[in-house]
Amino acid sequence: MAAEATEHSSKSSSYLKHKADLDDLTILEKLDVVPAVLTTLANAAAAIFTRPFRPGPDSYFRYVAHTATRTLTRRTSVRQQRYITAPTDVAYLVACKNRGVTPNSEMLEDGTTAHWIGSSKAEKLVLNFPGGGYVFPASPEMFEFMFQIVDTLQAKGKNAAVLFLSYGIFPSLYLTTSPLTKPDLAPRSVYPRQLQQAATLLNHVLHKLEVPPSKIILAGDSAGANLTMSLLSHISHPHPSGTIQPVSLSEPLRGVILISPWISFRTTDPSFQKNAYKDCIDVRALRQWSNAFIGEEYPYPTKSDSYNHPITAPISWWEGLKAEEVLVTVGEEEVLVDSISEFAGNLRSGAGKGTKVELSVAEGDITVSRIWTCSWVIRRKMRGNKLRRLRVGLVASSKRLRSMPHPNLWWQLS
pLDDT digit string (tens) for 288-340?
999 999 999 999 999 999 999 999 999 999 999 999 999 998 989 999 999 99
Q: How far apart are CA 354 and CA 301, in angstroms?
A: 33
- In this prediction, residue 363 carries a pLDDT of 83
Q: Which residue has the higher pLDDT, 394 or 63?
A: 63
- In this prediction, residue 188 carries a pLDDT of 56
- In this prediction, residue 181 carries a pLDDT of 36
Domains and CATH numbers, the chain: 2-411 (3.40.50.1820)
Catalogue the active-site residues.
222
- In this prediction, residue 178 carries a pLDDT of 40
Dihedral of the CA atoms 334, 338, 341, 344 (nearest 10)? -110
Q: Cis bond leading into 57, ω under 30°? A: no
Q: What are phi and psi of 144, to 5 degrees?
A: -65, -35
Residue 1's pLDDT band (cuts 50, 70, 90): very low
pTM value is 0.87
Q: Once rounded to an integer, what is the mean pLDDT over residues 173-190?
A: 42
Q: What does DSSP say about strands 113-117 and 160-166: parallel, antiparallel, or unpaired?
A: antiparallel
Least confident of 109-123, 325-339, 361-375, 380-394: 380-394
What burial letters (b/e) apply to 236-275, b meaning 16+ CB within 10 Å? eeebeeeebbebebeebbbbbbbbbbbbbbbbebebbebb
Q: Once rounded to an integer, what is the mean pLDDT over residues 25-36?
A: 94
Least confident of 118-122, 125-129, 331-335, 397-401: 397-401
Q: Once rounded to an integer, what is the mean pLDDT over residues 344-350?
A: 98
Alpha-carbon Rg for the chain in angstroms:
20
The yes-or-no verdict on residue 380 having pLDDT over 80 is no
